[in-house]
Every structure is written in C-alpha cells, then in structure tokens.
Amino acid sequence: MRRRPVPRKKLSDVVEEELEQMIRRREFAEGEQLPSERELMAFFNVGRPSVREALAALKRKGLVQINNGERARVCRPSADTIISELSGMAKDFLTKPGGIAHFEQLRLFFESSLVRYAAEFATDEQIARLGKALEMNSQSLDDNDLFIRSDIEFHRELAEIPGNPIFMVIHVALLDWLIAARPTVSLAELHAHNNISYQQHIAIYQAICKRDPDAADKALKSHLNSVFAAYYPAKK
C-alpha cells in the first residue's frame, strides 16, 4: 500500500469548523457576541487573517452577523441566507447553454402551483391586492422600468398568497436572476410587448377570481411560455 499524505487543512478552515460547532452546541446563544478577534487569535493560536477568514465564512453560512466596529454576533440562517449562498452559482448557471431555459422551466413549475393554490385558497383581500397590482400594470405600458416593477409585484402577490416565507424568497431570487439575464426590448416594440403580458395577467387574475385552478394554471403557462418565446425566439 503506497503512502499518501493527508492534506493539511487551512488554519482558517479549522477555526471556522470549531466556531461553527460551538455555535451549534449553543455555547454561544443566538444574539450573543463572539469573543473579539484578539481573543479568538489567542484561543486558537492563529493569526488575525485566519480569524477573519473564518468569521467571513460563518457570515456566508448565516451563522454570524458582522457590523463595522463590532464583534461578530451569533444568528440563525434564514431563507434569505440560503438563497444568497446560491445566487452566485445560479447566475453562473444562467450563462451556460440551456441555463436560462432550465430556470424558466423551474419558474413555470413553481408558479403553476402558486396560481392553482391562489384559485382555491386566496382570500378576498389577497385577490384585491392582486387586482391593485394588475391596475399598476395597466398604467405603465409605455414605461418599461415601471412596468417591470408592476409585473414583479403581480407575481410577488401570487407568491405571497400561501403565506410561506421560503416561497417568497425563492420567487424573488428567481425573478431577479431571470430578469437580469433578459435582453432589452426595443422602444418600437415596448407597448405591444408589455400589453401582451398585461392581457395575460388579466386572464390569470380572472381565473383566480372565478376559483378555477385549471384555467388559472393554463393562463399562467400560456403567459410564461409567451414571455420566454418573446425574449428568446427559436432560431431557424
């Protein structure tokens, strides 16, 4: 059997793992400040760079908050933290061949469930908020920045209806990633392009008002497929 050297861990990785275990064992309670950098340096017998790298890694994991001039404070990971960690990888994936199509399909599957749920369970108040977002849509057909905001608001209201905060975070991230990757619509096509989306939003809204999940699902799929085809027409 040939000898194989065991790779040595970076000091910062060792410090990170030790601190993470201490946090998970509740040796530091949520909201409690960690020892100062100098104290951590002495405790682990490492230099300041190793401590700072370890704290930065814990921050990315959502286990500590770091504010300028203050010691790191223990916190718990949130849905936002999870998505933030994925954001860089998601944006890289979008640049790969087929990446956008895969994310658009993910959005379609996700929102299909949302509209079906909305048609069955949305309260009158939630439907009214959806209607207000639709009204904003109608007033911004010639202002693309405003239309995009009202478009996002319409879909955000859909994501909010189930009352699941994870749905909201996933939905916001999905739209941010996809919209950032889209090409710009020419001014000549702007009104017609936005009006098509607006009319499709009306169809989704009306199906939800009628408490018809099948019609809502069909309208949503028609809308998202149309949006994808408009931004990324099939090459002949």
Q: Over the stretch 68-79, which tens digit does the pLDDT of each residue have?
A: 888 999 998 777
Q: pLDDT class for 6, splitting at 50, 70, 90? A: very low
For 16-53, how does the pLDDT look when each residue is reduced to its tens digit (9 = 90+)? Answer: 999 999 999 999 999 999 999 999 999 999 999 999 99
Q: Which domains does the chain have, with CATH numbers?
A: 11-74 (1.10.10.10), 81-231 (1.20.120.530)
Q: What are phi and psi of 77, to 5 degrees?
A: -60, 140
Long-range contacts of 55-59, Cβ-Cβ distance < 8 Å, separation of 24 or more: 55/19, 57/12, 57/13, 57/16, 58/16, 58/19, 58/20, 58/23
For 150-203, how does the pLDDT look when each residue is reduced to its tens digit (9 = 90+)? Answer: 999 999 999 999 999 889 888 888 888 888 888 877 777 888 889 999 999 999
In the structure encoding, which two tokens stand for residue 136, read together?
A: 């904003």
